[in-house]
Amino acid sequence: MTTMTHRRYRAYELVELVRAPVEEVSTLSSEQRRQLTLRFRAVAGLEHRRLDAWSVERAGSSQSAFHWTPATTRRILGSAALRRVVSGGGALLDAVNDEIAQYLARAATGHARDGSLARWLADAPVAVRALATAESLNWARTLDEVARSLGQPPTIAAADVYYDVASARTTLRARRDLVIDDAAGRVIVRVRNGSPGRHAGPGLRSDLTIDALGDVEGKAARRFIGVWPDAGVVLAVEGTFDNLRAGAHDLVRTAVAQQRQRPLKAA
């Protein structure tokens, strides 16, 4: 049976979730990976498919094409700025400005490709870059606040987890912002804006499953925590086999829903 823990966003609640032991932390076997791969291959499609918690929460409904805005830059720039402060000290605002300057320098060399963040920042008006700075600073401060509430210093994730399903034209992505990895196993924290929707649980379980698939040994995190600071809500799922299976089921179901929305065209 799948389970999900609901808490208020308070420091002692987060510390308890990080420290509390779990009865079961499952590991995906090679056979289980193979079976999941076969299920994805069975979902016909010509286009490359990308699935994450957001697509699961939206039941595979079509999403508008990605484009850079001050809001979409905040996680990349803000997280990098916080990593810079943690490793070398200084003020968060200075770190955000340093990150933006680094991207601008990359664009000035001519090595930034079209559509990249570096190119977008270089082409953006000064006022838009100022908005990106403000958004990134707010994100860095929020992430820092959550990190300080965990009871032990986490690692600020430098990248999300990606898993390419062999011969299935499918890439899975698990978002992660903070990671605690100790002898008891890893705990992963994902920070989100707004408030959790009614499908936030399936989204967390899909993140848990993708993260386990991306692990070399297939071992699940002992706990995957979603934090919505704006709403004051924390949700968490444990690395049980039932949660992993439910996450895999929701990912495949989302792939099927996407394919139904994009039927194959006759040759």
Q: Are 158 and 242 members of one domain?
A: yes
Asked if 74 and 135 touch (Cβ cutoff 8 Å), the reply is: yes
**Cα end-to-end span (Å), the chain:** 44
* 206 and 248 co-located in one domain: yes
Whole-number Å distance between alpha carbons of 79 and 68: 17
Residue 267 lies in a domain: no
Regarding whether 125 and 26 lie in a shared domain, the answer is no
Instruction: Extract the tokens encoding 263.
Output: 């039927």
pLDDT at 26 over 80: yes
259 has pLDDT over 90: no
pLDDT score at 125: 97
Q: Which residues of 188-224 are buried (b: 16+ CB within 10 A; e: fewer)?
A: bbbbbeeebeeebbbbbbbbbbbbbbbbeebbbbbbb
Laid out side by side, the sheet with 155-156 consists of 5-8, 233-238, 223-228, 185-191, 178-182, 155-156
Tens digit of pLDDT for each residue in 136-187? 999 999 999 999 999 999 999 999 999 999 889 999 999 999 999 988 899 9
Answer yes or no: is pLDDT of 105 > 90: yes
Q: How far apart are CA 244 and CA 193, in angstroms?
A: 25
Sign of the dihedral defined by the CA atoms of residues 29, 160, 243, 42, in that order: negative
Residues 142 and 169 occupy one common structural domain: no
Tell me if 220 sits within 8 A of 265, measured CB to CB.
Answer: no
For 163, the domain range is 5-63+152-261
Domain count, the chain: 2
Contact 28, 213 (CB under 8 A): yes
pLDDT digits (tens, 9 = 90+) for 186-208: 999 999 999 999 899 999 999 99
